[in-house]
């Protein structure tokens, strides 16, 4: 599997949120932490250099990246803006990614705005509201909405990302619209939502359709919508596959 690249500004964002501590400390729930939020194998009295802290940060960002692929459909990840992707990387870096969280279901259903609203729920640690988490979720929410939804432009990396050693990717030439993988993947999600909604309407109308002529007409219309949306899904999937071939 080819994983989506980690934006350079996402590394900076996490480093800014975590801070870079060269001596081990206990976080709000007592977990020994060092560097930029690194916790694996850390114990009291540990020390590190800034270079080591940034190496850990790079490795931990990759772990967050892999966790997101464990809970989200690849085509959904492809549909995210760079800012949305960076916000989710920060979120998972901080909290992990339990599969039963509602935020993943909403994202996989293509309900991006509703998913972003879920961020504000994750503000407790040890059963208590933590102001630091309130601030971080607010910053992630702002980051989520900060970019043009149609733009995947990567910000110029700062000194932090250069130290980590992540080389900025060469900007790709814009693809013709018909070769846009993100466009066709988004079409699949949208058409799937139309089918789901139409089926729900059909289930409500069907029991009473026999008694009302206008309900019969509505049921017929809804059936046509379901068929057309189903055809659209097939077409979008074919176009998506074709777009991938041209990448």
**32 within 8 A of 26, measured Cβ to Cβ:** yes
- Per-residue confidence in pLDDT tens, the chain, 247 aa: 899 999 999 999 999 999 999 999 999 999 999 999 999 999 999 999 999 999 999 999 999 999 999 999 999 999 999 999 999 999 999 999 999 999 999 999 999 999 999 999 999 998 999 999 999 999 999 999 997 544 333 333 344 544 554 434 433 344 444 444 444 555 555 555 555 555 555 565 556 656 667 656 666 665 666 667 667 666 556 565 555 444 4
Residue 169 makes CB contacts below 8 A (sequence gap 6+) with 5, 154
Q: Which residue has 């800012």 as its token pair?
A: 83
User: What does the block give as tokens for 186?
Assistant: 């988004």
Alpha-carbon distance 15 to 22, whole Å?
13
In three-state secondary structure terms, 42 is coil
Give pLDDT tens digits for 151-192: 333 333 344 544 554 434 433 344 444 444 444 555 555 555
| CATH T-level topology, domain 8-164 | Lysozyme (1.10.530)
Q: From the candidates 18, 82, 140, 163, give the one annotated as an active-site residue.
A: 18
213 has catalytic annotation = no
Q: For residues 88 and 80, is the Cβ–Cβ distance under 8 A?
A: yes
Rg (CA), the chain: 22
Q: Give domain limits for the chain.
A: 8-164, 177-245
């Amino acid at each position: 599997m080819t994983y989506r690249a980690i934006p350079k500004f996402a590394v900076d964002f996490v480093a800014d949120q975590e801070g870079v501590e060269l001596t081990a400390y206990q976080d709000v729930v007592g977990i020994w932490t060092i560097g930029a939020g690194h916790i694996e194998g850390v114990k009291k009295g540990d020390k590190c250099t800034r270079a080591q802290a940034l190496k850990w940060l790079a490795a931990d960002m990759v772990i967050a990246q892999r966790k997101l692929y464990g809970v989200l459909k690849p085509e959904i990840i492809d549909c995210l803006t760079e800012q949305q992707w960076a916000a989710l990387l920060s979120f998972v870096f901080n909290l992990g990614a339990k599969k039963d969280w509602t935020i993943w279901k909403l994202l996989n259903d293509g309900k991006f705005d509703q998913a972003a609203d879920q961020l504000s729920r994750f503000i407790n640690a040890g059963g208590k509201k933590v102001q630091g988490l309130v601030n971080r979720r607010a910053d992630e929410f702002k980051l989520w909405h900060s970019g043009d939804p149609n733009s995947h432009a990567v910000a110029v990396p700062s000194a932090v990302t250069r130290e980590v050693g992540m080389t900025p990717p060469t900007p790709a030439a814009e693809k013709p619209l018909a070769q846009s993988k993100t466009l066709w993947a988004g079409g699949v999600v949208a058409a799937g939502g139309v089918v789901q909604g139409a089926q729900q309407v059909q289930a409500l109308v069907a029991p009473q359709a026999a008694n009302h002529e206008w309900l019969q007409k509505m049921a017929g219309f809804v059936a046509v919508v379901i068929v057309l949306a189903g055809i659209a899904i097939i077409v979008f999937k074919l176009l998506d596959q074709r777009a991938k071939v041209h990448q």
